[in-house]
Structure 1
Amino acid sequence: MTRNVLVIGLGLIGGSIALALQKAPDTRIIGYDMDAQTREHAQALNIVHDTVTDPQAIAGDVDIIIFGTPVNATLEWMEQLKSWPLKNKVIVTDTGSTKKLIMQKAGELRELGITFIGGHPMAGSHKSGVLAAKAHLFENAYYMLTPLAGEEIVHMAQLESLLKFTHAKVVSVSANEHDHMTAVVSHFPHIIAASLVHQLGEENGEYPMTRSLAAGGFRDVTRIASSNPVLWRDITLQNRDELLTQLEGWEKEMGRIKELLTNGTSRDIEDYFSIAKELRDELPISAGAMYTAFDLYVDVPDYPGVISEVTGLLADEAISITNLRIVESREDVFGILVISFQSENDRERAAACIQKRANFETYIS
């Protein structure tokens, strides 16, 4: 018997989920997006098996509904679900970055007999839209599920049996736990990155060369500030309370640093950085909450043609790259050439290839 899965919202996340779930046996992936061109691209690129122009019209034949839409849009869709002719045992889930509001609305659906299990695949890309969708986007990333209290085990098992084809690490937490943890490791760091860029902008008037020097470590630290402003506006508003709590903690930490700079001994300051280094070095390289570009730093000598030499070696091994740049300001940076890859496996293959065939040192930050 074929399992019908409806994916509503065919951007990067929805499109990638649709591609990944096509690997599930006896499963038909149906896609919907408000944008007609997106639906056409999804159909032409086989991101879905079929598309529809009215998801409500097929709702009665669908076993699982996945919202690949922003949280505000998902809340609107969830309200519409109340009047849809759904299957008796349909399971509904989402992919939103915040969960408290979603799960409050899910409580309303439960009263109507509709099973809703919150979801958040914690992976992304510097690109967006259906054309950027990749079946392997979620491999080894955490896929957080936030069921309502008392959710039936059978419903969780059914959803997890489907999501295993994303090859993500599926874990279950409460909505409150989810929003707190993502505030710590994802949402609040975006605010900090944006604030650092604003501070750079203030400096640029009096010291214009500062902007040029920011091409190295500063650019890496603040990479996430280039994310979609509308998306982060919504996340900030939806997770405002958790972010205010994090800001209070950050202000206390800044007060501690101020005291350290004012009165700290050389040993105190060294210990501060040593502890930070130890904690940072213990962090996992992948499967985190923020987008990882799988960067490889290559310490290349400066001679004509060296970059084409490196890219030629990768081409010989059929290793694709997503970005390449030269770092001009190299303080605290491990190499002058930074190459980005689509996966950790590609990065590992590239490092081995470059070290073996060119004898250039490579590093992972």
Structure 2
Amino acid sequence: MRGRVFVIGLGLIGGSLALSIKRTHKDSIIIGFDVNEKQRKLAKMLGVVDETVEEIKLGAEQADLIIIATPVNEAELIIRSLSNMSLKNDVIVTDAGSTKTKIVETATCLVKKGITFIGGHPMAGSHKSGVTAAKAILFENAFYLLTPSSDIAGDQIETLKEWLQGTKAKFLIVSPEEHDYMTGVISHFPHVIAASLVHQAEKTSQEQHLVTRLAAGGFRDITRIASSNPAMWRDILLHNKPVLLKIFHDWIDEMEHVTSMLANENGDALYQYFQSAKQFRDELPVKDKGAIPAFYDLFVDVPDYPGVISEITGYLAKEEISITNIRIRETREEVYGILVISFQTEEDRQRAEQCIKHYTDFDTSVGP
């Protein structure tokens, strides 16, 4: 396909979509806009986009495809502004936001003017942000949810898929309401739980000062997503308010059930509660990408001697394996500690495990 693609929002998601389109539709021109001038300049310098504009109107009115890759509140404002512009009759407008019902409702202002809007949500991400973290392979094998309204023709959906084929994602068609409920359960709600666990630990630490030290390791791992962008999550929760309020009430019922089992010292029921949860969790897909970015961690049992960390990172560098994070879970004199190394992909983690086994006799394992 040839044409002009206008990407609004040149962060991780917008930049990665631009790159994936460029590698498949090489004759197309990718124009970018971001309110952050530095991001615009970086996107052009890194070759993420071919051109940049300083105003949305300058990129939108000649575009064949418009992708809105901004926070959801900003996306609403942009959609309304697009409805007042002279867009091409056959342009397709899509977004990449984490909530869909309010976005699709807002987009009726475009639909009334004969403009095609198809809501979208590529369910992949990274623990890095900004256009410098963008990569064409970000969405490979990830689910890409499309939420067209009932009046959208099938050939328009197929055209959007063709534009986005370079993502190599798995496209699924769902209603906006289905999308918001599913992502509420498996993404939005877990972020709330992670934040609440951190708050509880912080309050307890005011009286029990050891809590902060003991919260390293497993607690820190299971609450990683609490470090996500606060402004983004404020907006997501407000957008998905009806769904999340229902989930919160269901969660209260769930905790009351656990409270009852514990108060009555019902050991059999508690065992079954954990057993059934374990069974369901163990049956979840291991390698599929989901709504929350996966953590590709490798755990290495290392003896405590000077230079052991630089030794391991040296081996990884020799094999040109990039790491995203490294930390020590526990080290004591003459006792094996656990070195936790994080990678961007499962492939990198597998290569790293093979590398360490090749050069050392250290035991390695992946997360549960």
Structure 2 CA distance, aligned partners of 1:275 and 1:351? 31
User: Which string of whole-angstrom CA distances, capped at 9 and with x for unpartnered residues, describes residues 307-328 of structure 1?
Assistant: 2222122112111001011113
User: Which string of whole-angstrom CA distances, capped at 9 and with x for unpartnered residues, describes residues 234-271 of structure 1?
Assistant: 01111111111111111111011111212243333222
Q: 1:293 to 1:159 in 2, by over 3 A?
A: same
What is aligned with 1:280?
A: 281
User: Which string of whole-angstrom CA distances, capped at 9 and with x for unpartnered residues, describes residues 30-64 of structure 1?
Assistant: 10112222111111111111111223134332110
Q: Between the two proteins, what is the percent identity of the paired residues?
A: 53
Match of 2:61, SS state, is: helix
User: Which of 306, 321, 324 matches 1:322?
Assistant: 324
Structure 2 CA distance, aligned partners of 1:355 and 1:260? 46
Q: Tell me, yes or no, if structure 1 residue 103 matches structure 2 residue 125.
A: no
What is aligned with 2:60?
A: 59
What is aligned with 2:83?
A: 82
Any residues of structure 2 matched to 1:165-176 within 5 Å, and which? 165-176=166-177
Structure 2 CA distance, aligned partners of 1:135 and 1:296? 24
Question: How far off is 1:208 after superposition?
Answer: 0.6
> Could you tell me which amino acid in structure 1 is paired with residue 33 of structure 2?
Y
The TM-score normalised by the length of structure 2 is 0.94
Any residues of structure 2 matched to 1:1-365 within 5 Å, and which? 2-25=2-25, 26-285=27-286, 286-328=288-330, 336-359=338-361, 360-365=363-368
Q: 1:212 to 1:61 in 2, by over 3 A?
A: same
Moved more, 193-202 or 9-18: 9-18
**8 A Cα contact 2:31 2:59, kept in partner:** no
Question: How far off is 1:180 after superposition?
Answer: 0.2
Structure 1 CA distance, aligned partners of 2:356 and 2:272? 36
Structure 2 CA distance, aligned partners of 1:278 and 1:352? 30
Q: 1:275 to 1:301 in 2, by over 3 A?
A: farther
**8 A Cα contact 1:213 1:328, kept in partner:** no
**8 A Cα contact 2:64 2:91, kept in partner:** yes
- Tell me the number of residue pairs that the alignment of Structure 1 and Structure 2 aligns: 361
**8 A Cα contact 1:216 1:329, kept in partner:** no
Question: How far off is 1:357 after superposition?
Answer: 3.1
Match of 1:192, SS state, is: helix
Question: How far off is 1:288 after superposition?
Answer: 0.8
Structure 1 CA distance, aligned partners of 2:174 and 2:119? 10
**8 A Cα contact 1:31 1:51, kept in partner:** yes
Structure 2 unmatched ranges of 5 or more: none
Moved more, 315-324 or 120-129: 120-129
Structure 2 CA distance, aligned partners of 1:147 and 1:37? 33
**8 A Cα contact 1:5 1:29, kept in partner:** yes
Question: How far off is 1:329 after superposition?
Answer: 9.4
Structure 2 CA distance, aligned partners of 1:267 and 1:327? 34
User: Which string of whole-angstrom CA distances, capped at 9 and with x for unpartnered residues, describes residues 252-294 of structure 1?
Assistant: 1101111121224333322222211111111223411012232
Structure 1 CA distance, aligned partners of 2:222 and 2:37? 37
Question: How far off is 1:151 after superposition?
Answer: 1.4
User: Which string of whole-angstrom CA distances, capped at 9 and with x for unpartnered residues, describes residues 101-146 of structure 1?
Assistant: 1110222311110000001111222222222222222222211111
Moved more, 273-282 or 316-325: 273-282
Structure 2 CA distance, aligned partners of 1:241 and 1:58? 35
Structure 1 CA distance, aligned partners of 2:183 and 2:125? 14
**8 A Cα contact 1:107 1:148, kept in partner:** no
> Could you tell me which amino acid in structure 1 is paired with residue 311 of structure 2?
E
Question: How far off is 1:163 after superposition?
Answer: 1.3
User: Which string of whole-angstrom CA distances, capped at 9 and with x for unpartnered residues, describes residues 199-243 of structure 1?
Assistant: 001110111111111011111111111111111110111111111
Match of 1:40, SS state, is: helix
Structure 2 CA distance, aligned partners of 1:178 and 1:237? 16
Structure 1 CA distance, aligned partners of 2:278 and 2:46? 45
The TM-score normalised by the length of structure 1 is 0.94
Moved more, 349-358 or 310-319: 349-358
Structure 2 CA distance, aligned partners of 1:133 and 1:59? 22
Structure 1 unmatched ranges of 5 or more: none
User: Which string of whole-angstrom CA distances, capped at 9 and with x for unpartnered residues, describes residues 148-182 of structure 1?
Assistant: 11311111111111212112222111000000000
Structure 2 CA distance, aligned partners of 1:215 and 1:13? 30
Structure 1 CA distance, aligned partners of 2:367 and 2:327? 15
**8 A Cα contact 2:80 2:107, kept in partner:** no
**8 A Cα contact 2:298 2:364, kept in partner:** no
Structure 2 CA distance, aligned partners of 1:152 and 1:193? 40
**8 A Cα contact 2:302 2:339, kept in partner:** yes
Question: How far off is 1:88 after superposition?
Answer: 1.3
What RMSD in Å do the two structures reach over aligned CA positions? 1.7
